[in-house]
Structure 1
Amino acid sequence: MLRHREFLKLWVGQAVSASGSAITAVAMPLVAVVTLGASPVEIGVLSALTVVPHLVFGLPAGVWVSRVSRRRVMIAADVGRAVLLGSVPVLSAVGLLRIEHLYVVAVLAGVLTLLSDTASMTLLPALVPRASLMQANSASMLNQTVASTTGPSIAGVLTQVASAPFAIAVDALSFLASAVASFLIKEPPVPALAPGRYRLLGGLRELFGSPVLSALTLSATIASLAGAAQAPLVVLYLVRDLHWPPLLVGVAITVAGVAAVVGTLVAPAYSRRLGMGRAYVSGQLLASLAGAVLASGWLPLVLLAQMVAGLGMSLYGVPQRTLRQALVPEHLLAQVTATWRTLVIGGQTVGALAGGLAATYLGVRATLLLSCAGMLAGVAVAARSPLRSQATAELGCL
């Protein structure tokens, strides 16, 4: 992918901002807890507000991004997030920071992230030939997996050495660097389309108008909702149920991150060998089984579950992105991307709430098994559809 200069600029910007965002994902709750003394309810609200914009603004975001320069959207979103996040350490330094301010930052930054991610994922297929699309998506996902693996550790070091607000200041600077990288991109012309075609539900019609895309959407939505019920409980399960020390919990999380990085690197070859449809189904199956293995409670199997979860996530993530980009016309890609995020990411709010309630009344171990069953239901939808036989060569994404 180093041969594609415009994609390389996009990739560098994504890498920088993803690293900063991974730091803030840890530092923001630390600011709320350590600096402001937030309650568990306030932490839950803060977490939910980062996802709510996908539910509320997802469909309009796709329509709007379809009309304008994707590069300009990314620049504006990066600058906006830099200002928002930069306000946290400034207000903290002068003693004016309040939990309500973090709520506002979480919502507005969530809206800008929605717009930026929609624009960047729409721009990516325009910067590389179709034959390089899978490699480009693998490289793009590599940013996220590396950032999510190293970000928490970096956030911990920055918080320990300086403070949690200082760690957020690092993220603010990362967005400014990302804005510079986006500014340097030479964007191809935005596809022209008659205004009447920019309908709010255009993304839904495109996703559910194709047997392959509809199966992909239903499968991913179901699995994401069930997975969101499981993900927040992993650390709680390891600490309270298994009584693991913090060091061992960190090892388990790192194992998942390293496996995700490896999965991202091998995903293109894996998809070429099996075909994108089978690669998606098998990767999703691996990720779905992790909850059942985790519930065993035996240390070697818990580490194996973490490895399988990280590996499976990457093995299905790369073909899933590539399938959407290859099957959706370019002029509808922004709407489809935003609609996808509304369903798959926005639905995680419901999944996380359901997981918390189930863990309260049924116990964490039972909830892990239930969420595993839910994720397997998503696998079954994909496995029993035309998606399973979707070949890589048919799409020209070799």
Structure 2
Amino acid sequence: MRSGGSPVAVTAKPGSLFRHRSFFLLWSSQSVSFLGTQITYVALPLTAVLVLDATAMESGLVGALERLPFLLFGLFVGVFVDRRARRPILVWTNAVRFAALAWIPFAYMLDMLTMAQLFLVVFVVGTMTVFFEIAYPSYVPGLVGRERLMEANGKLQVSESVAEVVGPGTAGVLISALSAPVVILLDAVSYAVSALSLMKLPSDAAPHAPKDADRKAPSVWASVREGFSVIKQHALLRWCTVAAVFTSLFFSAVMAVYFLFLIREAGVGAAEIGVITAIGSAGALCGALVADRLTLRLGVGPTLVLSLVFPALGYLVLASVHGNSVAAVATAAVASFVALFGIPVFDVTVISFRQAVTPDHLLGRVNATVRTFAWGALSVGSLLGGALGTALGLRQAVLVSAIGLFVPSLILLLSPARGVRRLDEAAQAASEPQSPQPSLQLDQ
């Protein structure tokens, strides 16, 4: 039996997960929320620029305030999630996000919306997103059963990829008809719908660590350190986390100069960029659709290694694009398809892997630690891409970043993770003692 038990009272029954009422509720609520988030992804910066006449610095602050809460609070939220029932966290964070986002169209219609209010809304929504993004993957294993994590995460990733394909175009049409602040109300409503749906999910209790009569309840800082220690002491978790950090670093470096490269270096027009972006999004959707099948056919470890080769190869090809010709646009589109195909395959597999090997009472802290490292790497990667573009040129920046994207694949190829075939093997490996300290073992 896994330490800490299952955080949810029921698990998935045999058959399609869509026939499992609880998972269907989770999936449907998240699908609505994913689409709303993609609409706001376009509408929020346009509200800042078109309605509030934001400067370049103010526009940059809007983007920074979205990520800042994870770096400020992520590790501590992980401790909080491991000491509380997860479902109420999911419900309340969506309720707060609804209220915060609903303020924007309300204030706009009363002609009282200001840049300071927009900053505050973005920071509040970002903070609630930290709680949700850490509690959410900590809740799923108990809901569907650890043996069905690949299937569950794959279906959720497909929904997110579909939203990424459909959302921006839908947002553009709606903004043209209604205005950007009013369109944000749709995302607010999506969070309200999600909160109501999540209330119908099975209730859960706070996870508990294995009992130790001689061990006092750890302090917050000790709990944070325990999350780090689990990753450090478990070889599979450690190497997957290192690979995720390098992937975030170099992927963010490419994206920092991606559009500048296409416009200024390759000479691609705005319409063609739309086509390239859409085909790249289709690649991400295809990756999400086949992630489960690839893992079943190749095994967990080989899938992790292979999935990270695709972004490197795709962006390596992208660096060769010259001129605004049909051939150049086709090459860039194929390169983007290949690059983005691998990202959801890696995400679905590595998240399922992490959920399988981590006991319930540590899931929040392990998720928080990995996400904090990854988000930090995203921020550093954006700076790296800009620095490479300035020092070497845009084409060279894409080339260097693409070569860097081979690093995480090589790391996993040389690590013990490459030999893992099934998630249950990973969970079994986690049950073996990793340290003489009982509190830091991954299973008892």
TM-score by length of 2: 0.86
Aligned to 1:251: 275
Letter in 2 for 1:338: A
1:115 equivalent in structure 2:
131
Secondary structure, aligned partner of 2:93: helix
Q: Distance in 2 between matches of 1:253 and 1:112?
A: 29
After the TM superposition, list the runs of 4 or more consecutive aligned residues in structure 1 that deviate by more than 4 angstroms: none
Aligned pair in 2 of structure 1 residues 4, 346: CA closer, same or farther (>3 Å)? Answer: farther
Q: CA deviation at 1:115?
A: 0.4
Seq. identity, %? 33
CA distance in 1 between counterparts of 2:258 and 2:382 reads 12
- Structure 1: runs of 5 or more not aligned: none
Whether contact under 8 Å (1:229, 1:356) holds in the other structure is yes
Residue of structure 1 equivalent to 2:434: none
Counterpart of 1:196 (choices 210, 218, 236) is 218
- Bigger Cα displacement from structure 2, 291-300 vs 178-187: 291-300
CA distance in 2, matches of 1:13, 1:232: 31
Q: SS of the counterpart of 1:346?
A: helix
Please tell me whether the aligned partners of residues 239 and 245 of structure 1 are also in contact (alpha carbons under 8 angstroms): yes
The aligned counterpart of 1:319 is: 349
Comparing 352-361 with 125-134, greater Cα deviation is found at 352-361
Equivalent residue runs for 1:333-352 within 5 Å: 333-352=363-382
Q: Per-residue deviation at 1:65? A: 1.0
Q: Distance in 2 between matches of 1:250 and 1:16?
A: 24
Could you tell me which of 92, 97, 103 is aligned with 2:119? 103
Which range moves more in the overlay, 86-95 or 53-62? 86-95
CA distance in 1, matches of 2:117, 2:394: 33
Per the alignment, residue 107 of structure 2 pairs with 91
The equivalent position to 1:222 in structure 2, one of 246, 261, 265, is 246
Select 1:167's aligned residue among 180, 183, 187.
183
Mapped to 1, the partners of 2:175 and 2:419 lie a distance apart of 48
Report the Cα offset of residue 181 of structure 1.
Answer: 0.9
- Distance change in 2, residues 1:281/1:78 (3 Å): same
Which residue in the other structure is 1:329 paired with? Answer: 359
Aligned counterpart, 2:416: 386
Contact 1:51–1:110 (Cα < 8 Å) also in 2: yes
Point out the more displaced range, 82-91 or 231-240: 231-240
Matched, 1:275 2:305: no
Tell me the alpha carbon deviations over residues 48-94 of structure 1, each in whole angstroms, 9 at most, x when there is no partner: 21111111111001000111121111111101111111111122222
Q: Which amino acid aligns with 2:345?
A: L
Q: Secondary structure in 2 aligned to 1:262?
A: helix
Gaps of 5+ in 2: 1-16, 212-216, 322-327, 428-444
Q: Mark the CA change 1:218 to 1:396 in structure 2 (over 3 Å): closer, same or farther.
A: closer
Q: 2: distance between equivalents of 1:184 and 1:120?
A: 15
Measure, in 2, the Cα distance between the counterparts of 1:218 and 1:66: 23
1:330 positional shift: 1.2
C-alpha contact 2:85 2:204 (8 A) present in aligned 1: no
Query: 1 or 2, which has the higher helix percentage?
Result: 1
Once residues 24 and 368 of structure 2 are traced to their aligned partners in structure 1, the CA distance between those partners, rounded to angstroms, is: 23
CA distance in 2, matches of 1:74, 1:68: 11
What is the CA deviation profile of residues 299-333 of structure 1, one whole-angstrom value per residue up to 9, with x for unaligned ones?
22211111111211122111111110011111101
2:390 aligned to which of 336, 355, 360 = 360
SS of 1:345 mapped into structure 2:
helix
Per the alignment, residue 78 of structure 2 pairs with 62
The aligned residue for residue 80 of structure 1 is 96
Which residue of 1 is the match for residue 259 of structure 2?
235
How do residues 130-149 of structure 1 correspond to structure 2 at under 5 angstroms? Answer: 130-149=146-165
Q: Could you say what the CA RMSD is over the residues aligned between the two structures, in angstroms?
A: 1.7
CA distance in 2, matches of 1:264, 1:41: 35
Separation in 1, partners of 2:22, 2:383:
41
Q: Distance in 1 between matches of 2:259 and 2:27?
A: 31
Three-state SS of the structure 1 residue aligned to 2:268 is: coil
Alpha-carbon distance, 1:394 to partner: 4.1
CA offset digits 1:338-396 (Å, max 9, x no partner): 11110112321121122223223322211111211222222221111011111116438
1:255 deviation in Å? 0.7
Report the number of matched residues. 397
- Which one is further off, 19-28 or 345-354? 345-354
Q: Which has the larger radius of gyration?
A: 2
**SS of residue paired to 1:95:** coil
**Structure 2 CA distance, aligned partners of 1:102 and 1:395?**
48
Distance 2:226 2:135 in 1: 17
CA contact (8 A) 1:77 1:115 kept: yes
2: CA distance between counterparts of 1:320 and 1:232?
A: 24
CA–CA distance in 2 between the matches of 1:344 and 1:135? 24
The offset of 1:119, in angstroms, is: 1.1
- Partners of 1:121 and 1:395 lie apart in 2 by 20
Aligned mate of 1:295, from 315, 319, 341 = 319
1:213-262 Cα deviation digits (max 9, x unpaired):
11000011011011111113222222232332322111111111111111
State the Cα deviation string for residues 111-155 of structure 1 (Å, max 9, x = none): 100101111111100011222111001011112111111111111
Say whether the 8 Å CA contact 1:158–1:166 is kept in structure 2: no
2:39 alignment partner in structure 1: 23
